[in-house]
Structure 1
Amino acid sequence: MTNIDFDKMGGLVPAIIQDATTRKVLMLGFMNNEAYEKTINTGKVTFWSRSRQCLWTKGETSGNFLELVSMQLDCDCDTLLVKANPLGPTCHKGTDTCWGEDNKADPILFLSELQDFITNRFKQMPEGSYTTSLFKKGINKMAQKVGEEACETIIEATNGTNEHLVYESADLLYHLIVLLTSKGLSLNDVAIELKKRHDPEWDRQRRIDKANK
């Protein structure tokens, strides 16, 4: 990034710090060109302290460093979005964020990671991978596996325990993602469909279509 506009704010640009995993906004700091370069070179997020008028690397006294993952420049070239992995609380008051929020990952976000993982397996087909073996068996076998997992989920729902129901549901969802991926689809496509159905207008139109049949 060589086109950062440091002149607009007298040599500084705001740097929004976001947890690379949870996507929570952790803090806001300011960087000058020297702080930006040091962040790039050390891999630890560094700011310009306006109160002390010096560089400061977050965590240099507390040990709660912000390990750099990526930096993006906004459309006006005067604000940075810095994605980082925090090593401990970010705020000097001991909280996870400077807004007092808990910085915990939403488990539902893992589904996106899982989709990416399965997509990469489909592209790379590494030997020894269970996911690869499923792809190689073809659509019919993959569809059959989804059916088997659905049956096991039903059995646990009607005669099993909640623990086993969750276990079998995880198997079902995993194999469904594999099947979707093999067809060039993903969980995103399913989410888009569900979002459409959540719209009251969709339900109204469905009722009209059903009445006209």
Structure 2
Amino acid sequence: MTEVDQIGAGVVTEDDATPFVRTVARSIRSALRQGTSPSLGVPTSPQTVVISAKGSPQSATCILADGRIEISHGAVEAAMATVAVDAYDLAVDVDASIGDIDLIKSIATLLNSPSPSDWKSAADGFWLRTAGAPGMPNELILECAQTQDRVVLGEGLPTYRIVADRDVLSRLCTGTVGFLEALDAGDIAVQGSFPQLSVMTGAFNTMRFDV
């Protein structure tokens, strides 16, 4: 699948991309849309870099060329750099990465760009995209743990409630982190039924993987 961002760089993934490839693609596309990415033009030859999740077999190969970024699953042997990332949020571990340091830093800029939205705007965007999905609650409450400020989306029963720091809420609603991963890490607290947990996981996966 190909998508061209606002500054003209095409991001290309396999038609049946793995969840990890989709997560990498989402992060890179978000960075490019914000205009925060480094220059990727290479006058001589493409640059190949492997992105590898620490403590996990998940990996992706990125080929950076002038106006084009190709992302596929797996790791090639002839990469100029291997970038180690946290599987939770793709945070780059520079010390654990090997190879061309400038390329490592370029990938870090692409993968770890700031969230494009404040948490309330991110919540609105999430609800706009997922509210019509089967099984979604009629009302979703997102609450900031620091201030107890709330965003109430929709109306009626059943209700689902998520409490987290504002940064986590923003990253969750924009697909930067996964719902179950954030829950397992203790970064969010939820109030709702077990069947709703499954539905909400699918909804947040839409933001994370449906790129």
Tell me the TM-score normalised to structure 1 length.
Answer: 0.29
Question: Relative to total residues, which structure has the larger strand share, 1 or 2?
Answer: 2
Larger Rg: 1
Question: Relative to total residues, which structure has the larger helix share, 1 or 2?
Answer: 1
Higher RCO structure, 1 or 2 (CA under 8 Å, sep 6+): 2
